[in-house]
Structure 1
C-alpha cells in the first residue's frame, strides 16, 4: 500500500510528531510524508520518504500565512506548492491520502488541497481513499457555526474515514465540534497517538549524560518554541537562583525559538555547570524517562509524553485558545499534573513549583488512558485501503 500523508504545521511541532508516529506505525507500507513547515532535525523511519513543500507558517500575529523564506512572495509559494502536490499525485497514484487536521483546521491551505480532492473525486489518480487524521480537541470558533458547516460539507463530499486521535472517556469530539451527528462518513476513536519511550532506557541515558544515582534531573521544554519564551525565562531565572545541590537542568527551547532570546539564555547558562540549554533533543521522549521532573508547555505530544513516562510534571497552557488548558485539566483528573498559572511564573512561585516537583516520585499508577492511537490508526488505514 502507498500512502501520501499530508501534514502542515504552522506554529509548533505537535502536528508533525503525532503524524510521524502514525507513519512509523505504517511500517509495512510506503509512506510519502508531505510537509510544508520547517523540518525538525528528526530521523525518519525506513518506510517514510520525506517530501518537502516550500515553507509556509503563521505570521507573528497569527493573522495569516507567510513564507518561511523571507525573500519569497506568498502567492508564488502557494502556486508552487499547489502545482507540486498535484504533480506528486499524478506520479505516485497512492492508495490512501491521509490528511492531518483538514478540514477541521488549515482552512488557509484549501488552495492546494481542494484541487487534489476534486481530482480524486473524479478518479484521475485511480481509486484513492481519503482519510482525515484529527487530534482530540479543536480550537474554538465564534462564527455562528459556519466553520462546522464547512467541515461537514468537505468531510461528506471528499473523505472516506475520520480518525480521531483521542480516548473518548478523556475527550470526545462532540465537546468541541457540535455538528458531529451531521457527519455521514465512518469515524472512529483510535486512542491518543503517543510516542513510546524505549524500554529500560532510564539507566542507560542517565549513564550517558553522567547523571549520578543521587542526582536529580529537571527538564524544561517550550515545545516548538514559537511560544513559551516567558516560561523558559521564568524556569531559568528560578533554577539558577536556587543553586540546588546534586540537581541538573536540561532546557530545550524548541527549534523555532527566537534566536536572540535563545542566545541570551544559552550565554547565561555558561555560568552554571548544572544547566544545559539546547534547542532540540532527538531523544526527548526517552530522555524524559531519565528525568525526575519536567516543566513545559501543554501541547498534545507533551501531555502524551507525561502519560507514557510518569514523570512528575507542570505544564503551562497556551493562552490564545482553550485547547491546551482543556486537555491538561482533563488529564489532571487521572494523574498528578500541576497546571501553571501566571502567578507561578514569578520567581518565588516558580521556585515552589520546582521544589515540589523534585520531591515527588515518578507515577506508576495505571491511569487507564488509551495511548495506542498510532497502532490503531495504522490498522484502520490498512483496512480502508
Structure 2
C-alpha cells in the first residue's frame, strides 16, 4: 500500500520520534511518505522518504505559530504549505492517510488538513482511508473543553475511518482525558505504547565502549528536545557533586537538540569529574540499557524508553499541564519509577533519591510496548475490511 503519515511537531521532538517509529515499521511492508513541517530533525533512516513542508514552530512565548524561516510571513508559509500538501496527494495518491494528533490537537493546522480530508471524502482526491494516530493522554482544556470536544467529535466522525491510540489500555485509556469518548463512532484500537527496541547485547557493548568497570554505576539524565528542563539538568549536576563517587559512578547528560547554546555552555562550565554533556544520541535506548539509573522528564517517548529498558528511574513531570504527571503516576504502578517535584530538586534531596534508586534492580513490566507493530497490523486489518 501507499501510505502517507502527517506529523507536525512545533516544540519538542516526541511527536516526531513516535511517528518515525511507526513509519519505520510500516516502511518494511509498504511504500511510506512521512510529511513533516516543523523545526529541522536529524537521523531519519534512508528507508523513510520525507515530504518537507515549509517549517512552522511555536514562537518564543510558546503561544503562537511562527515560520522557521523568518524571511517569510506566517500567511505566506500557510499558503505554500496548503498548496504543497494538496499537490502531494494529487501526485502520490496514497491509499492510507495517517494524521498524528489532529483533530485532538494541532487545530492551528486545519487550514491545510481539512481541505485534503474533505476532498478525499468528496471523491475529489483518489480513494484513501484516513486514520488518526494519537498518543495516550490529552492535554487538559479547562477553559473551552466542551467546545473543543464537540469540534473533535464532529471532525473525527465525519472525516476519519479509525482511531489508533498508542497506549496499553490496562495502563491508560483515552476516555480518562476525553469526556466524549462514548460519542466516537469510528473504530478505536489500542496499539500498545510505541517505543524503539535497544540493539542486542547493547548493555555489554555500550559499557565496554565507555570502559565502565563491572561495579561502576552509570546515571543517564535527559530532557527530551531540550526546550524545557534546564532546572533538572542543573539539579542533577549539583546532586552528582554531592555523591562520594570515588570513580564508581558516572553521569551522562543529554540536553536535547533544541536546548539553547548558552544553557549548554553553562552546564559544561559546571561539570564535575566523571560527568559529560551531549545534545542527543540516536542510540538513546542503548544508553538506558547500559545505565543503572535514569533521571528525566516524563514525556511519552522517554517514559517508554525507561519501561522498555526496565531501568529504575526518577522522573520530573513538566508542570505546565497534567499530561506527564498523569502518565508517570500510571506507569509507576507497574514500573520502578519515582516522581520528583520541585522540592526534590535541591542538591541534598536529589542526591538522596539517586543513592536510593541506584540500589534498585532492573525489572520487566507487564506493559504492551509493541505499538508500532500493533499499528501496522491494525491498519492492514482495517484496509482489508476486517
Provide TM-score, normalisation by structure 2.
0.95
**Ranges in structure 2 where 5+ consecutive residues have no aligned partner:** none
**Ranges in structure 1 where 5+ consecutive residues have no aligned partner:** none
Q: Distance in 1 between matches of 2:16 and 2:89?
A: 21
Equivalent residue, structure 1, for 2:60? 60
Q: Distance in 1 between matches of 2:7 and 2:203?
A: 31
**1:320 correspondence with 2:320:** yes
**1:373 correspondence with 2:375:** no
State the secondary structure of the residue aligned to 1:277. Answer: strand
Q: 1:254 aligns with which of 253, 256, 266?
A: 256
Cα distance, 1:173 vs. partner?
A: 0.8
Q: Is the 8 A contact 1:266 1:278 kept in 2?
A: no
Which structure 2 residues correspond to residues 38-53 of structure 1 after superposition, within 5 A? 38-46=39-47, 48-53=48-53
Q: Distance in 2 between matches of 1:74 and 1:191?
A: 37
Q: 2:270 aligns with which of 250, 255, 268?
A: 268
Per-residue CA deviations over 1:98-155 (Å, capped at 9, x if unaligned) read 0000000000111111111111112222111101000111011121411111011011
Q: Is the 8 A contact 1:19 1:100 kept in 2?
A: yes
State the secondary structure of the residue aligned to 2:45. Answer: coil
Q: Distance in 1 between matches of 2:358 and 2:44?
A: 32
Q: Distance in 2 between matches of 1:248 and 1:54?
A: 41
> CA 1:105–1:304 in 2, change beyond 3 Å: closer, same or farther?
same
CA RMSD of aligned residues (A): 1.4
State the secondary structure of the residue aligned to 1:219. Answer: strand
Equivalent residue, structure 1, for 2:30? 29
Equivalent residue, structure 2, for 1:73? 73
Answer with 19-28 or 93-102: which moved more. Answer: 19-28
State the secondary structure of the residue aligned to 1:57. Answer: strand
Q: Is the 8 A contact 2:25 2:373 kept in 1?
A: yes
Q: Is the 8 A contact 2:7 2:34 kept in 1?
A: yes
Cα distance, 1:50 vs. partner?
A: 1.2
The number of residues matched between the two structures is 380
Equivalent residue, structure 1, for 2:20? 20
Answer with 69-78 or 80-89: which moved more. Answer: 69-78
Equivalent residue, structure 1, for 2:212? 211
State the secondary structure of the residue aligned to 1:338. Answer: strand
State the secondary structure of the residue aligned to 1:162. Answer: strand
Equivalent residue, structure 2, for 1:175? 176
Per-residue CA deviations over 1:229-267 (Å, capped at 9, x if unaligned) read 111111112213435222111100011111111121124
Q: Is the 8 A contact 2:311 2:336 kept in 1?
A: no
Q: Distance in 2 between matches of 1:353 and 1:144?
A: 38
Equivalent residue, structure 2, for 1:157? 158
Q: Distance in 1 between matches of 2:373 and 2:264?
A: 36
Cα distance, 1:299 vs. partner?
A: 0.3
**1:293 correspondence with 2:293:** yes
**1:133 correspondence with 2:165:** no
Equivalent residue, structure 1, for 2:337? 337
Provide TM-score, normalisation by structure 1.
0.95
Equivalent residue, structure 2, for 1:278? 278
Q: Is the 8 A contact 1:163 1:188 kept in 2?
A: yes
Q: Is the 8 A contact 1:165 1:190 kept in 2?
A: yes
State the secondary structure of the residue aligned to 1:194. Answer: coil
Q: Distance in 2 between matches of 1:207 and 1:144?
A: 52
